[in-house]
Chains A and B, each alone.
Chain A
Amino acid sequence: MRTQTLDAFQVIADPSRRQMLQLLSKKSLTINSLAENFDMSRPAVSKHIKILYGAGFISITGIGRERHCILKQDGFNELQDFINYFDKFWTTKLSKLQTILNNKANK
Chain B
Amino acid sequence: MRKEIKQTWHFNQSPEEVWEYLTKPELIEQWLMKNDFQPIVGHKFRFTFTAKPNSKYEGVVDCKVLEVKPFTKLSYSWNGSTQDKSRNYNSIVVWTLVPKDNGTELQLQHNGFVVLEDILAHTEGWKSCLKKMEESLKTMKP
Contacts and interface: CB of A to CB of B under 8 A. Distances in A.
A1 interface: no
Contact of A100 (B30, B88, B125): B30
Interface of A: 7, 9-10, 12-13, 18, 21-22, 24-28, 61, 63-64, 68, 70-71, 76, 79-80, 82-83, 86-87, 90-91, 93-94, 96-98, 100-102, 104-105
A63 B30 contact: no
A19 B113 CA distance: 17
Contacts of A63: 137, 140, 142
B54 interface: no
A28 B2 contact: no
Contact of B9 (A7, A24, A68, A94): A94
Contacts of A97: 9, 11, 21, 30-32
Q: How large is the interface on B (under 10, 10 to 19, 20 to 34, 35 or more residues)?
A: 35 or more
A9 B82 CA distance: 11
A26 B129 contact: yes
Interface in B102-142: 106, 108, 110, 113, 115-116, 118-120, 122-126, 129-130, 132-133, 137, 140, 142
A83 B3 contact: yes
A101 B13 contact: yes
Contacts of A21: 119, 122
B5 A83 contact: yes
Given A12-B115, A63-B142, A101-B13, A7 B108 contact: no
